[in-house]
Structure 1
Amino acid sequence: MAMTKNDTGTIVKLGRDAISQLRDIETRFKVIAGEDGKIDQAELQAGLGLHDAEYAARIFGLIDRDGSGTVTLWEFIDFAQILLTGSPDEKLRIVFDLHDLNGDGTIDKAELTHILDRSLNEHHLDIPPHKLDALSEAMFQKVDADGSKSITFGEFKACIDSHPALKEQMVANSATWLRLPERIERDRRRQHGRLLHNLTEGAIRLWENERPWLVLLVLYFAANAWMFRGGVLAEIQLGSDLFTQIAQGAAACLKLNGAIILIAMLRHSLTFLRRTWFGPFLPLDHAIAFHKIVGHVTFLCAVIHVGGYIGAYESIIDPDFFTRDVVYGELFKSRVGWTGLTLIGLFLVMWIFSLRFVRDKGLFDLFYITHQLYWLWFAFFLLHVPGFWMWVVGPGALYLIERGIRLVHGLKTTDLQQADALSSNVTRLRMTRPDWFHYQPGEYVFLKHPMISSFEWHPFTATSNPEETEMLELHVRGVGNWTHKLHDLAQQPVPERPAAWTRVYLDGPYGSPASDIFDSKIPVLIGAGIGVTPFASILRSILHQRQQGAASQMQRIYFIWMNRDQKAFEWFVDLMAQLEEDPATRDVIEIQVYLTGLRAELTSASLTVAMEVYHQETGRDLLTGLHAPTRLSRPDWQSVFKSIRQAHPDQAVDVFYCGPEGLSRVLLREAGRFDFGYKKENF
């Protein structure tokens, strides 16, 4: 049992949960305070990760009750306990006091304008001065119910109370910026039961959404098991030892996988299949994932094959006759021996540099260069096993034809007309569209810019629409060396760029899951950050088709775009404005915009209320200028999907997503709860 002081200074006893909470607060205080055991303003700003110095000073003043210029442990505990366990009115009082700069118990317009300005700055939101004045005026007129030119706590509370969802969010998140560890009570038996339930539900949804993919995986692993079994049985009939049996079982699998691994890379063939009537029944969206699985299985089989033969050779070592030098010396002199050693070496290099961590570190060059060793790998495999040609002749012929097509396209230059450096490290490219380049909305291309790299090709989704016959547009986000160099080039004034900056090469186009949107009656398009690019092309095409009066089975379109950075909305805000204003689309497309990079803190709710009031008064969003308001939070997917299902209770709804993998898992789960189809963009 621990003790603390109540408001009257009396020592009171605390329960076990309160003790844990106090320990968390004390630990957080010590981390911020350092060795002297006190927190000054600079330490508080750094410790809480606050961006704006004036904003940090206001919070510091609220915590430093005695005005000493430093915060003691007890002052920190008192403030933290209000945020953690205080009543809603106590938490609102802190927010009100934060706005009340002169401490007279009311908020005038100048104080409101100042704190809104500081709050916007804290969240890295940038608006011009006239919009800040309009925001403050709209909020002040809304809250100042009696027209006294000042806002009392009662009026402030009434305003927040009129937005119950926002008030609940503010109250619930009021302590998150203290960065205390979250404590969740768990019932292990209930958790176990919930886990089994979630796994069962997840398996059902996976089967409903990914049936062709799961069938392919079952057939693939069954085929490998059959090949392994055949290789083992053949060696048993020859009387071979167990090690040789295992090695030859793996060798049989290597033949199968050596042929299959090419199929997933037949981009032109797969795009052709996607455009046929039976395309939806094939797991084409998982071609790259399948290629990766086959690659890992092939490498595993190669290791087992080598390991099996090492075991076989080690079993015949005899110090008096078959010494290790003799056995391995003879082996590596043979064609099978030296080609096998070369194969495993090549494969090891390719496999290591194809792992995700290499690309995550921006080392795409290493991935690309080492992956080109596959030409040597196939050549040595044919030397190692001459009969392998029967397995690879079909896929290999198709692959060589496709490589020939890519080579022909790779010899034709395309003129790059514009390269614009946009916000959030994004580059917009506009180039002359080649006569041979025919694509569908949502499809992607491979781009090579010789000034950046003479051999690297990178995939990017077209953001222009196919109806724009003269130009092709791409938006490229800087995530690696190549894309960062491209952005650096775009930042240079045009007269200062090298003469060859306009020369680029294209390969494609290639199909993607997003191109299936036109087969859906109620599509839900969800883009996270630069993941909006396939939907930009699709929405432009929809706009053009509806302007031309073209028939379409799409009855309602939901477009949801999330960004961490306000400036990122500038990429396609003109397109969204056109969709909202044009009579052909404004009643068909519903746009939802979320700014997810804001950190929950004391004024999040009041800023949100101010933006809502501004939107009600002007009919425009403060940040984007759209009719659709920008929500300063992450989407509540259960609520979003529930409202869509209520609007379309008996219709098929399909979710199309492009963005980070982590969110994809959440969307797949939530989409399944409402019986929505689900597709994710993959490259």
Structure 2
Amino acid sequence: MQFWWQQGLTFRQWFVNDGPMYTFVLLWMCANVGLFFYTFSFYTQDKYNYLRRIVHFGLPVARGAASVLNLNCALVLLPVCRNLVNFCRGIFESKRSIRRLFDKNILFHKWCAYVICVFASIHICAHFFNVNNLVEDGTYGRILRDGTPMSQEEVLFTTVAGGTGVGITVPLILMVTTASQQIRRSYFELFWYTHHLFVVFYVCLCLHGYSGFVERQDNPDTYPISLDRGVCTSRDDVLVSNGCASWNAVVSALANQNSSLTEPNLCIPGGVDVGDEEDAFCCPCRLVTQAVLQRGQAATWVWVIGPLILYILERLYRWYKSQTRRLRILKVVKHKDSVPVMEIQFQKVPTKAGQYVFINCPKINSLEWHPITLTSCPELDYVSVHIRLVGDWTTKLADACGFYEDNPKVGSELPYICIDGPFGTASEDMYHYPVAMLIGAGIGVTPFASLLKELYFRKSNPSAYPSFKTQKVYFYWMCPGFDAWGWFASLLIDLEDKLEQLGVPDFLEIRVFTTRGWSQDDAAKIMLQEDESGDSIVRDAETGRALRHKMNFGRPNWDSEFTSVANTHAGNNIGLFFCGPKVLSSQLHVTCNKFTSERAAEGTKFYYNKENF
């Protein structure tokens, strides 16, 4: 991550793309830091000296980390309440800077998870230190069970605090490790099932403080305990040592000062000289001879109960919608790609271009849901998705649809599917910009299929879409090789033809790049394309039709591309929408900021948007 001064930007220019998000992140980080130090300070009060004398700073560190954990265990649920996020995106539809924050919901979910991991580690280490000191303490640090001292192992694994701590830590480790991008892509089922260990995590979290492991002292004023000098010396009716006068001596001394203190059960008023030595640590009262301790109470549930209720309602609502949307697959289409792709068309439900759904096939597994981008637009009389057959679930779905048979199943032979959603993404906002740059890398073009289809309908009937502002669309597609066109090439070729018929062929500019090397056969195709009259290499494998826009070789020169767009559309707001790998995302993000800075005098601004789901 680079700050605005490292990118050569003014704060105002940097704020166009990154300001709202990092303002929110700064507030969130300040809340975490402030909460930690407030709790740390709270547990350094005298009423916790009873424990702190034994465990030292292990107690405030553990409790400070616990408060940060409480906050983030509450917040981590909110970004995955997808209907709530959708609702908030709708509220701020006219305020794009705020609306774009909700497109980072999964990113914020991950950040909360990282903070939980860090402070859970701090909390665990601090309590290992505390337990070791408590068990080894000979007088005040005994942890008793029916009067019997316990070992460290017993404390960690047989007490409520220890057992629930293990019940929190193990699910957390499994959820975080299986949430990596590599596992989600290759073993999505593993990620899906282990993430549902959050049920165990939150149950143990709410029970963790139930035993009242942390005790506070209710009488620190009448029976003080010093971190340095230990417990105060009690007064009795005979002369006591350690420089403290007996209670009778105290009464006599006060009587000589014409004091009205005659009751032997009262405490010494502050500031009264009773003859105690200067360095003596004496109890101020006569009959108060021990600390009055009060067990702590579980407080985590107070933090998480609200988000938990919201999340439970969210899941119930999504379950209800999925059960009432048991949709029959209408048609299965085979596509001749290097990796088999199955298009399934099912009954129409309300959607918007650029959205995605979770799909479940009860015939395969009633518990398994997969996020898939919609490739149809709302104007069609069906909803479609394109599924690459690269995993266990997708191949099972293809088999259930008869994809591998010579004649795919039709009608009642096809299985039902359930859908959860649809849910919005950043690409929904494309039509709010006068100029749009759509950039997809590899399979990252899928979210743009529905947007490109809808472009034709919006351009052919502008009166039906009064909010449609887009005057020019640049579409960039980076492919790994010559065999990667597949079904998407057919979509682009159809769109070119339709825009030609409307008389606006220049409305959409398509730039396809192949980023991998080529063979001798491919070189011959390149030579043919270089001829002005030659066709593009990008062809529809089923019909043989070629794309009018020529193929480009190698990676795009983004500075050159941005310069061309900025020169052509000076003074406009340009929305860039990207779906693809993280490295390219960072490069495009920085480039947007760079050209926003360089073209500030013209008023040209590049707004960066990335797909997250």
TM-score bracket, shorter-length normalisation: 0.7 to 0.9
Match of 1:477 among 388, 408, 416: 388
Is it true that 1:213 corresponds to 2:21 in the alignment? yes
SS at match of 1:517: helix
CA distance in 1, matches of 2:522, 2:449: 30
Contact 1:527 1:560 in 2 (8 A): yes
Partner of 2:480: 564
Partner of 1:555: 471
TM-score, structure 2 length as denominator? Answer: 0.72
Match of 2:595 among 653, 674, 677: 674
What RMSD in Å do the two structures reach over aligned CA positions? 2.9
Displacement, 1:509? Answer: 0.7
**Aligned pair in 2 of structure 1 residues 564, 452: CA closer, same or farther (>3 Å)?**
farther
Partner of 1:575: 491
Is it true that 1:228 corresponds to 2:36 in the alignment? yes
Partner of 1:384: 208
Partner of 1:311: 129
Which amino acid letter does the alignment assign opposite residue 7 of structure 2? T
Displacement, 1:379? Answer: 1.5
Partner of 1:200: 7
Displacement, 1:357? Answer: 4.2
Unpaired segments ≥5 residues, structure 1: 1-194
SS at match of 1:208: helix
SS at match of 1:430: strand
Match of 1:429 among 334, 343, 367: 343
Contact 2:4 2:14 in 1 (8 A): no
The within-5 A match list for 1:133-282 is: 199-201=6-8, 207-237=15-45, 238-239=48-49, 240=52, 241-276=56-91, 277-278=94-95, 280-282=97-99
TM-score, structure 1 length as denominator? Answer: 0.65
Is it true that 1:593 corresponds to 2:509 in the alignment? no
Contact 1:424 1:565 in 2 (8 A): no
Which amino acid letter does the alignment assign opposite residue 621 of structure 1? S
Q: Which moved more, 1:545-554 or 1:243-252?
A: 545-554
Displacement, 1:374? Answer: 0.4
Which amino acid letter does the alignment assign opposite residue 293 of structure 1? W
Contact 1:520 1:654 in 2 (8 A): yes
Unpaired segments ≥5 residues, structure 2: 144-148, 210-297, 540-545, 597-605
Which amino acid letter does the alignment assign opposite residue 574 of structure 1? S
CA distance in 2, matches of 1:500, 1:457: 22
Partner of 2:552: 631
Is it true that 1:523 corresponds to 2:436 in the alignment? yes
The percent of aligned pairs where both chains have the same amino acid is 29
CA distance in 2, matches of 1:381, 1:197: 40
Displacement, 1:543? Answer: 0.6
CA deviations 1:135-186 (Å, max 9, x no partner) are xxxxxxxxxxxxxxxxxxxxxxxxxxxxxxxxxxxxxxxxxxxxxxxxxxxx
Displacement, 1:450? Answer: 3.1
Which amino acid letter does the alignment assign opposite residue 515 of structure 2? T
The within-5 A match list for 1:223-622 is: 223-237=31-45, 238-239=48-49, 240=52, 241-276=56-91, 277-278=94-95, 280-282=97-99, 283-318=101-136, 325-326=150-151, 328-330=153-155, 332-359=157-184, 362-385=186-209, 386-411=298-323, 412-422=325-335, 423-434=337-348, 437-468=349-380, 470-486=381-397, 491-493=403-405, 501-550=414-463, 551=466, 552-582=468-498, 583-584=501-502, 585-599=504-518, 608-613=526-531, 616-617=532-533, 620-622=535-537
**Aligned pair in 2 of structure 1 residues 305, 654: CA closer, same or farther (>3 Å)?**
same
SS at match of 2:484: helix
Partner of 2:225: none
Q: Which has the higher helix share?
A: 1
**Aligned pair in 2 of structure 1 residues 471, 203: CA closer, same or farther (>3 Å)?**
farther
Contact 1:428 1:473 in 2 (8 A): no
CA distance in 2, matches of 1:622, 1:672: 34
Shift >6 Å, 4+ stretches: 195-198, 202-205, 496-500, 601-606
The structure with the largest alpha-carbon Rg is 2
**Aligned pair in 2 of structure 1 residues 330, 623: CA closer, same or farther (>3 Å)?**
closer
Alignment length, in residue pairs?
481
Contact 1:416 1:429 in 2 (8 A): no
CA deviations 1:484-540 (Å, max 9, x no partner) are 544566641276769875221101011111111011110011112221122111111
Partner of 2:218: none
**Aligned pair in 2 of structure 1 residues 318, 563: CA closer, same or farther (>3 Å)?**
closer
SS at match of 2:422: strand
CA distance in 2, matches of 1:443, 1:548: 22
Displacement, 1:421? Answer: 4.0
CA distance in 2, matches of 1:547, 1:561: 24
Q: Which moved more, 1:254-263 or 1:202-211?
A: 202-211
**Aligned pair in 2 of structure 1 residues 230, 320: CA closer, same or farther (>3 Å)?**
closer
